[in-house]
Structure formats: C-alpha cells, structure tokens
Amino acid sequence: MKVIEIDVLEEVELNNPVFIEALPGVGHVGKLVADHMIDELNAVKFAEIYSPTFPPQVLVGEEGIIENMINELYYIKDLGEDNLDIILIGGNTQALSPDGQYLVCNEILDFLEQFNISRIFTLGGLPTGQPVENPKVFGAATCEGNVELLKEIDVEIRSNDGGIVGASGLFLGLGMRRGIEGSCLMGETPGYFIDAESAEGVLLKLSSLLNFEINTEKLDERAEQTKLMLAKAQQMEQDLINRTNAGNTDDLRYIG
C-alpha cells in the first residue's frame, strides 16, 4: 500500500492553476470554505486520494451510507476577472501521524507537478482561546511580495508567531522548496465550534486576492448543518473513547 493512492476521475488541462488547500482543521474553517466554494463555483472533482496515514476508520454518512476517509481534488476553470484556473483540495481528514503529514503533502505536490501550479493558498482557522467579536483574518506568506499583497487587502500579518501545523503549513513549506510561492489565510476563531463567520472572512479575502465574486449567504446555513452533523458524530466517538478507556479492551484503545 502506497503512502497515497490517487484515483483520477477526469484528465483535465489547466492553465498554471492556483492551488488552494482547504482541508478540515480548527473551527472547520478550511472545510467550510472548501464546501462552499465547491457548491457556489461549480467545482468539478477530478481525483480522489486515499492513504493508510489517514485515520483507520470509515464515516457513516447520510442514510447509513459508508464513506472512506478521503482527500479530493476539484478544478474550477476561468474563475473571476483574471480567468484563473483553480485546483482545490478538500476532504474529510488529514494524515494522522506527523511523518504521514509530510509524506502525503509531498506526494500530492508530486502529482500536481503536471499542472504547473503558479501559487498556493492555504486556508484555515487561527484559534484565539476565547470568544471573538468581528474575527480578523490573519496571514503569512513565503516571500515579501506576497506579504505585501496580503497587507493591501487588510489581512493582519503574523510575525514571529508560532507554527502553522498540518497541511496548511506543509503545502507552503514544501511548495517553497519547489519554488512555488504561497500564502496562508487564517480566520480568527474560538476553535471549538463550526465557525461560519470566520470562514466568511477568509473566503472574502481570498476572493479579493484572486479577483472573483462569491455569494456567502448560505455559509451560515452550511455551518449550522455541519454543526449538527458533527455534534452527533463527535458525541458518538467521545462515548466510544470513554467506554473503551473505562472498559476492558486495553490493547484496542482506539478500535470501535
């Protein structure tokens, strides 16, 4: 079994696409943005990515249908005034182990080489540790030029300011080593609920940077749905963890 297995659904030609990472993380900000962009901008899924570094489970989706842990690649052609081609990566998970994170991100960048990625944007939440009013969007970038672009649209620039953990960090870091510029947009969020307001902030900054328009009306609704869905799922899993810890299946700690 390879680090990642990619099922290509459609061979597609793209013009120096912008690569956008929006995988699940803090406050589900990235995932909310991804789901919303996919729906509103009619993104087309062209590849599915599986990995033994993902959590060892499946999800029970709507109506009892089982779903694999997955990352998905979508494309959007001719977006906005600059007629940009976009590749967006979304999904329901990230690699579980630290080295798995590196290996998966690196192999995805290997796969994307054929498209001549021009820039990378990674999206996520920045946890504040307390309730936030009027959440800001924070940013960082791989070079001064991109930092300037972020400043121009009033993204708050982080400085000497901790790490960007997971795919949002590694796509930028590994991209840098391949000579691809990138920026990160992080919506301020308490982090412990599905944060539509934070996601909206990130999405609007991204649309400014890439010069496209997007209706954010349904983001609240989407967040509400996600919240209900996840709340139930998380409750089940928490119960499972509690039971397993209290119970007598000591060497099967994480197995349901």
Minimum separation from the CB atom of position 167 to its own copies (A): 7
Phi and psi torsions of 44, nearest 5°: -110, 125
Nearer to its own copies, 4 or 219 (CB): 4
- Read off the tokens for 147: 């930092």
- Read off the tokens for 231: 């709340």
Minimum separation from the CB atom of position 115 to its own copies (A): 20
Minimum separation from the CB atom of position 22 to its own copies (A): 13
Nearer to its own copies, 37 or 174 (CB): 174
For residue 27, give the nearest of 156, 138, 192 by alpha carbon: 192
Minimum separation from the CB atom of position 122 to its own copies (A): 10
Nearer to its own copies, 17 or 124 (CB): 124
Within 8 A by CB and 6+ apart from 110, the residues are none
| 28 SS3 class | helix
Nearer to its own copies, 213 or 243 (CB): 243
Helix H or strand E segment including 176: helix 167-177
Nearer to its own copies, 61 or 220 (CB): 61
Helix H or strand E segment including 48: strand 44-50
- Read off the tokens for 85: 């081609």
Minimum separation from the CB atom of position 55 to its own copies (A): 4
Nearer to its own copies, 44 or 230 (CB): 230
Phi and psi torsions of 12, nearest 5°: -135, 145
Distance CA 91, CA 35 (A): 9
Minimum separation from the CB atom of position 127 to its own copies (A): 4
Distance CA 170, CA 156 (A): 21
